[in-house]
Each structure stands twice: as structure tokens, then as C-alpha cells.
Structure 1
Amino acid sequence: MRPARRLVLPLVLLLGACMPVASRDTPTRAAADMPGESALPPMKTFAVPRPAPPVASNADIARDFLDLAFTLESGRSLGMLTRFEEPITVRVTGAGPASMVADLNRLLHRLRTEAGIDIALTNAGSANITVQAVSRAEIRQALPQAACFVVPNVGSLREYQSSRRSSRVSWSRLTRRDRLAIFIPADSSAQEARDCLHEELAQAIGPLNDLYRLPDSVFNDDNVHTVLTGFDMLVLRAYYDPALRNGMSRNEVADRLPAILARLNPAGEGLPPQRLPRTPRVWIDAIQTALGPGANPGQRRAAAIEALKVASAMGWSDHRRGFSHFAMGRLLQASDPEAALDQFVLAQRYFGQRTDTTLHRAYVASQLAAYAITAGRADEALALLTPHLDTAARYENAALLATLMLLRAEALDLAGRITEAREVRLDSLGWARYGFGSDWAVRAKLREIATLNPAKRRYGAL
């Protein structure tokens, strides 16, 4: 099983810190209110998926597949491939967010059409996978720093609690997959519940590991991607390819992967491999200390410096170097905003212009635009934000999309385009309800971003 996840990438200047947790082998997601009756506009949801196809070479994808499928995040090796060999059925118990079942149906449709997996929703108690909506308090009682997680060979949280210290729920002792349970927070935002469904269901049926070297995948502890990507669907399609079977060794799978990937992803045959180096544990530990719970400010800053030193010593110029600068920027914002800005500029430089780091750049753009708005530079903020609105929509990140739109509304206000600003702000609220949940959370985000506008601060308009 995998650690209790994940680094939650912040959306704008003073949003809460990232929260990884101690390394375990239970696939989970780190924690994020359920809206009831609301005076805000109706919640918006995403319609047709627009996943971007993978842009990696098949040689790199084969290496990634093997490391994802045959290693737990703790570093423990798995001796065999385990998967479902029969059609997979999924049932839902408990009362989650109102959109949860619809989001689950959309996800199952994607798994059938994009990954070719025979999976469907059922009401039968004999379902292979049970998605149980329980309170966050119950989840944290089971795994204190998790928002959601998946466990083999159980069908309820009560069953897990009675078996948690036994080998029955050990992923490393699993020889085949027949019955699993995913625990989702019932009192979360719609987006948090959906993100949990994507991450935990993907691991319930597929690979259990995470790799920081993957720029365009939910199988990555940086938590940039929250819905399954084109890369992820290719990995899952290969995972269930008829040429593979339950119980195969790493070497047996490695022998068959080149032909599988050549058939499933012919575009990857002509791309040169990048062969990104493995991510050393010292960098992982430093990032988790810098952005996770339990450390004091001095320890966090020292860890972020260590992560940057490792990234530099390794000669990285990929997204991990960018994330190292982003982490440092986050930690410097309160104490040294100008130095933090420098780090965000460096993060954007290392994220580069690759198609598989588009979403990374959208996150950094939200930070840079916030600085521009604070300085009264409306045109600069609009130039930073405009290219990334469609990015947030493409990757179905309503929280990020709402944040970018609210920043755009403040920039439009600064530019004197008041009517347009009002329309953008109103349009953002439906996405904010999906992304942030309760009315108070949405209104808090509105106030947070409005405080960036120097005109509103000057005239006490907040």
C-alpha cells in the first residue's frame, strides 16, 4: 500500500500549506465542507473530458510502468503483477457529496472508453470495489493525515479497522485483486471527493506507486494533476492488456511491454527517451519536510534549501527543479515576498514550455499574477492569466479555474473594466462552489483575492 498522500499544491498566495504524510503502504490522499442550501449561483461541473495524449517515448513509459507496478511508494518491491481478471463491479455506500455518483459514472465511462477496462457500477453487495463515503473524522481516526485511501480485502471502514494490523490488508502480500474498499470524505467539496475517486480507483485497479519524475500523471506525489491524464489511461490500458496476466514477474512484464506499447501508443515509438534520473530519497524527504506537517518554520526552510541543493547537484532541469523553486517560494512568501517572487520566476523557467508541464505553469501563473495585481499592474496580470484559463478547464480543476477567474476579475477592476470584471467574478462562483465547497469557503476565497487589489485596500472597499 502507499503513503497517506499528498502534496496539495496551493492555488494562491496564502492558501494553506502542502501536506504529505509519513511513508506507509496505504494509498491515500491528504485532507481538504459540504455545501447545503446556498445563496450563491448553482455549482458548475465539467462536461466532456479533454485529456491530452502522452508525449513521452515508449521506452520511458515502459520504465515508468515497471517502477509504478512493481514498487510500493515506501520503496518495497512487489514480486508480481496483481490485477482484476474478471469484469470489475463498483458500488457506493454512505452519503457523499451530491455530485459524487455522477462523477464516479463519468470516471467509469472514461476507464471503459480510454483504458479499455470492463468496469461498471452496481448495487450488489458482492461488488469488487466498494466506495464508502464516511466523515473526515472517521477517516482521520483510521489514518490521521489522510483524506481518502484504498485497502484490499475489505468492504467497509469497520472491516478495515478490525483487520488493519493483519496481513489481510497488506498490498505486498496480495496475489490477486478480488475485493477492495475506497474511503471517501462525505463532508468534503465536490472536487475533493472527485479527486479522491480518480486517485484511489486508479490504484485500486492499477499501479500502487508514485513517481516524482512523472510530469503529467496522478501517480505523482506533487499532486499537480487531480484527474486521470492521457498518460494514466495509457498505463491502465497497458496494465489490463491481454498480453499480461495476474501473477507475472517484473521481468516477464518487461519482456512484453515494448510490443504492447508499440501497439497502444505508436506515436511514442518515434520519440527519443528522456531517461530522467530517479528521484533520490533525500530530495523526497526534504520536500515532504518543507511542505508537510510537523515541522517548524526553520526546519521547513532548511528542508527547502536542501531540496534545491539536491536538485542543483543532480543537474536537474525538469519539472522537479521547478517544483523545488515553487516550494521555496511558498515558504518565503510571509517572510520575504520579493525573494519568494524570484523563486516563482525560476519555477516558471524550469517548468519551461513543454506540453506536459502546462498545468504546472498555470499554478505558478496564479502566484505571479497575484504579485502583479498587488503592484497595480493590471495588464501584466491579464497577460499572465489569460493563457491558463483553458488549461484549468482542460484538466478539470475547478478550484484553480475559479482562482484564475477571480484574479482576472481583480485585474479587470484595476484596468477600469468594471462590467467585465463583475461578469467574470459572477461566472467564477459556480466553479468555486465545486472546487471549494461550502459558501463560507467560497466567500473566504473571494475576500482573500480581493485583498490583493490596491485600489480596494486604499478606499476600504473590502
Structure 2
Amino acid sequence: MMRLPVLLAALCVVSACAPPAQVSKSRPPAEVGVGFGDPNAFRAVSAPLAGSSLTRDFMDLTFAMESGRGLDTFSRFEGPVTVAMTGNVPGSAARDLGALIGRLQGEAGIDISPASGEATITVEFASRSELRRLAPTAACFVVPNVSSLAEYRKKRGSDEVDWALVTQRERAAIFIPADTSPQEVRDCLHEELAQALGPLNDLYRLPDSVFNDDNFHSVLTGFDMEILRLTYSPSLASGMSREEVAARLGTSAGLTGMGGTPADWTRAIETALGRNGSLASRQAAAERALSIAEAAGWSDSRAAFSYFAVGRLMAGREPERALQAFEQAAAIYSRLPGGDVQLAHVDMQLAAMALAGGLAEEAVRLADRAIPVVRRHENAALLATLMLVKAEALEQLGNPAAAAALRLDSEPWARYGFGSDSVVKARMRDIAAVANRAGNG
């Protein structure tokens, strides 16, 4: 077992480096850009669940909302879809939206294209503070039957912007903060455009999907593309009932037992990994979520996520307990399709703990194992964090030249993932502090 000091500073950085939540919120420089290589490489990472599993997941995603409210009618856009951007559009957004639209065309078979001016789906960029006044807990959000923030303000609270009352999608608007990192902009584009086009629900049980509030996945997976392809199948049409859709898909009309995650568990997870409350209350919430998962006999991603939450929150106070929780999370994720990115998140947490404990070789090993996976999954913030952790470990091992070179290599990823130079330098100082080394950034 690792020799780990009980360091509050380590806990703070482990919690901040790669949380299953939204990424950095500083305004990015317009010229930031990174390339993840062959765009086809990501598609091979995730094989969609087949047959009845896919249709079961489709029904559970399509006929309910995140709030738990059921939907009686299937809705989608009928005919070609166009997407336009407006407002204070970040410099990286056009490239990332173009790449996403290309994937939706090629992988999901959707007739979708970029546009200027009036469009089926409008993506409006505004300040974070302005968006928070309308949706205090959302990093970004999508609304039906409007094309601008001004129009949404007028219709807010009316039946017209109630997704549950939509029987055919005609227009939608996505609202994204302009003053945030390029990666958060891209992640919002992926998640909100997917929900504008398809399912409005998220399921914690799905290991290989952005339709999951654990937020491990940054971009749409192969599974997500299969769900969207099914949404736009010629055999389906807007206005169909749950029973009619089920009959066309040859599956059950009802939501499956696995579709229902107890509200108590969801509340506990949200409290544990939220921004409010004391550390002690959040730790207690994580333990409560784990108790619910164990009592239910879960062995899916919900159980693994419960262990992960305990590990994150116990790393500073009870490192041995954290290690045990991370090991149990990893054991479950290793059995799940698409669980490699979750394992990379676990490795990042363990690498930071190893760095704090002076176990530099172990930190390098863990970082090296996670980095290729994270690169494939296009998470620049996590990639930069792993590179910076490895750089500090190399410094501990007496190789400052290699450490300096790795920090330099990490800069484009860090700027894309975290945003402004000031945030990047702050992250470098935080990771240096975990290594008990004064940062000079």
C-alpha cells in the first residue's frame, strides 16, 4: 500500500484537477487550439451496446427527463437541421462545432449542417453571470421553441418552453458562457446539441456516454452516436407514443428497472461532489451514496462512481480509505464497456496522491498509463493535469530537463482545457504544491 501523508493541500488539488464536473471557467484566448489527431480514432474507443440493451437504454433516455418526469410523446426534428452561432462567439467554437457536425453527419446519419443567420438550432454565447441568472446550477442549457436569449426571457415559465409538451421539434436554442475555457465550450456544444437533437434524460448507469451526469466523458461517444442514429431512424416519427416507439423497436414500452436510480442516491452524489457544504458533510454524503449502492447490490457504473466519490473526498483525511475506494471503483470500471476513461480519472487521483507521498516513480507509471487513454478521449484539461503531475514527479527523480520539456509540451492542452494563462499558472502552482515544491509559474 502507498505511503501517503494526510495533506489537505493534496486533497484540494486532487479534487480540483479532474473532477467529474465542468472544467475551468476563465475566459480563453481566442487563438487557442489543439489537435487530437485522427478524428476516426475516437470512434473506435467505444463500441455501442447491441440489441436489446441499446433499445432499452434508448427508451429510458427518450421517455423521461433528468428531473424524473416521464414523457409520453416522442419528439425530434423532422427534415434538415441547421446550426448557427451568435453572440460573443469564442475563437475556438467554429472549429469545434464544425468537427461535431461532421461526426453527427457521418456517425449518426443526421441531416445537419452549419448556417449563418436564421437556423433550426441557434447557439448563443453570453456571459456566465447572465446565464446563471436564468439557470443558476447549469453550466450551459438548451431550450425549445426559441432562437435567442431575449426570446427565452419573454417565454420563460410558459408552456412553450416546456420540453415535456413538445411533440415535434421546430426550433431550439443552446446557451453557453462565452467567458470560459475552450474545452468547456466544446463540451457544452457536444452535450447540449445532443440533447437538442435527441434524448433529454441522463442515466448514471451508462458507463460510455455523455448522457450521464458523472461527466467523465467530454465528447460524444460511439454509444451516443448510436442513440442519435436510432432517434432519427426512418421507422420513427415525431408524435409517436411510447408504445408505438417500443413496437417499432421490438422492445418493452415501460421504463426498465435499471432506469430508476433512487432519488436518495442522486441527492447524496450531488451533495458529495457539489460546491456547497463543508468537507465533512460532503464526505458523509459520499458514504451515504456508497451505502445505498451497496444495499441495492449494484455492480454498474453507479456503484463505481460511489466508490470514486468516497475516494476523492477521503484522500486528504483518510488516504488508506481513499486508496481502497479507488481500487474498488477501478475494479468495476475495468469490467464495463467504455470504462477506460473512468480508469484514467482514477489513475490521475492516485498519481496525485503518489506525488504527495513522495512516490515519484509510481506517479510517473500511473500518469503514463492514463495519458494515451485521455488523449483518445479528447480531455485536454485532464491530459494537461497528468502531464504536469508527471513533470513534478520527474523533478523529484532528479530530471529537471525532462520536467521542463514536459511542462512546455503541456501548455497548449492546458490553455485549451483551463483557459487563460493565469488559470494555467495557478494549476501548475497547485500541482507543484502537492509535490511540496515551490512553484515559480
Q: Tell me, yes or no, whether TM beats 0.5.
A: yes
Change (3 A) 1:159 1:275: closer
1:146 paired with 2:138, answer: yes
1:424 is matched with which residue? 406
Q: CA deviation at 1:95?
A: 1.8
Q: 1:95 to 1:47 in 2, by over 3 A?
A: farther
What are the superposed Cα offsets for residues 77-135 of structure 1, whole Å, 9 maximum, x if unpaired?
A: 1111100111001111012221001100110010000100000111132x111100100
- Native 8 Å contact 2:287 2:310 kept in 1: yes
Q: Quickly say closer, same or farther: Cα 1:55–1:35, change in 2 above 3 A.
A: closer
Match 1:369 to one of 320, 329, 351: 351
The residue number in structure 1 matching 2:102 is: 109
Partners in 2 of 1:80 and 1:37 — Cα distance? 42
Q: Deviations over 1:188-241 (max 9, x none)?
A: 100000000000000001000000010000000111112100000000001101
- Return 5+ residue gaps in structure 1 as ranges: 1-9, 21-28, 260-273
**Match for residue 4 of structure 1?**
none
Q: SS of the counterpart of 2:339? A: helix
Aligned counterpart, 1:184? 176
User: Structure 1, residues 268-323: CA drift from partner, whole Å, max 9, x if none?
Assistant: xxxxxx99574222211211122224434443232212111111111122222121
- After superposition, where does 1:384-395 map in structure 2 within 5 Å? 384-395=366-377
Q: Is the 8 A contact 1:97 1:189 kept in 2?
A: no
Of structures 1 and 2, the one with the larger relative CO (CA 8 A, separation 6+) is 2
| Distance in 2 between residues matched to 1:371 and 1:91, nearest whole Å | 44
Q: Retained in 1: the 8 A contact 2:265–2:289? A: yes
Looking at structure 1, the residues matched to 24 and 396 of structure 2 have their Cα atoms a distance apart, in angstroms, of: 35
2:142 match: secondary structure: strand
User: Aligned in 2, Cα 1:43/1:423: closer, same or farther, shift over 3 Å?
Assistant: farther
Partner residue of 1:13?
Answer: 14
Q: CA deviation at 1:11?
A: 10
CA distance in 1, matches of 2:181, 2:24: 11
Supply the AA of the counterpart residue of 2:363: A
Q: Do the aligned residues in 2 keep the contact of 1:191 with 1:434 (CA within 8 Å)?
A: yes
Cα shift readout 1:131-167 (whole Å, capped 9, x = no counterpart): 0010001100111122210000111111111111110
Q: How far off its partner does 1:420 sit? A: 2.2
Match of 1:359 among 326, 341, 364: 341
In structure 2, do the counterparts of structure 1 residues 130 and 37 end up closer, same or farther at CA, with 3 Å as the change threshold?
Answer: closer
The counterpart of 1:446, out of the listed 420, 428, 436, is 428
Contact 1:210–1:219 at 8 Å: present in 2 too? yes
1:219 partner letter: F
Q: 2:298 aligns with which of 312, 316, 319?
A: 316
TM-score when scaled to structure 1? Answer: 0.86
Deviation at 1:54? 2.3
Judge conservation of contact 2:61–2:200 (CA < 8 Å) in 1: yes
**Matched residue, 2:55:** 62
Paired amino acid for 2:293: A
Answer yes or no: is the 8 Å Cα contact 1:211–1:220 preserved in 2.
yes
Report the 3-state secondary structure (helix = DSSP H, G, I; strand = E; otherwise coil) of the residue aligned with 1:92.
strand
Which of 286, 295, 312 is the equivalent residue of 2:268? 286
Question: Does structure 1 residue 349 correspond to structure 2 residue 294?
Answer: no
- Partner of residue 236 from structure 1, selected from 228, 247, 260: 228
Partners in 1 of 2:398 and 2:218 — Cα distance?
Answer: 35
Secondary structure of the corresponding residue to residue 60 of structure 1? helix
1:158 aligns with 2:147: no
**What is the CA RMSD across the aligned residues, in angstroms?**
2.5
Deviation sequence 1:27-82 (CA, Å, 0-9, x none)? xx7984223489xxx64233432222325232111111001011111111111110
Decide whether aligned partners of structure 1 residues 37 and 107 sit closer, same or farther in structure 2, where only a CA change above 3 A counts.
closer
Q: Is the 8 A contact 2:23 2:418 kept in 1?
A: no
Q: For structure 2, which runs of at least 5 residues remain unmatched after alignment?
A: 1-10
Return closer, same or farther for 1:102/1:277 CA change in 2, 3 Å cut-off: closer
Secondary structure in structure 1 of the residue aligned to 2:382: helix
Q: Structure 1 117/11 Cα, relative in aligned 2: closer, same or farther at 3 Å?
A: farther
CA distance in 2, matches of 1:436, 1:294: 22
Q: Is the contact made by 2:388 and 2:407 (CA closer than 8 Å) also made in structure 1?
A: yes
Question: How many residues of Structure 1 are paired with residues of Structure 2 in the alignment?
Answer: 424
Whole-Å separation in 2 of the counterparts to 1:92 and 1:323: 35
1:214 aligns with 2:203: no
Q: How far is 1:19 from its partner? A: 8.9
Range 246-255 or range 99-108, more displaced:
246-255
**1:328 and 1:53 mapped to 2: Cα distance?**
27
Change (3 A) 1:13 1:134: same
Aligned counterparts of 1:254 and 1:375: Cα–Cα separation in 2: 54
Counterparts of 1:24-103 in structure 2, within 5 Å, are 32-36=25-29, 43-49=33-39, 50-51=42-43, 52-103=45-96
Give the counterpart letter for 1:286 in structure 2: A
**Distance apart, 1:419 and its partner CA:** 2.4
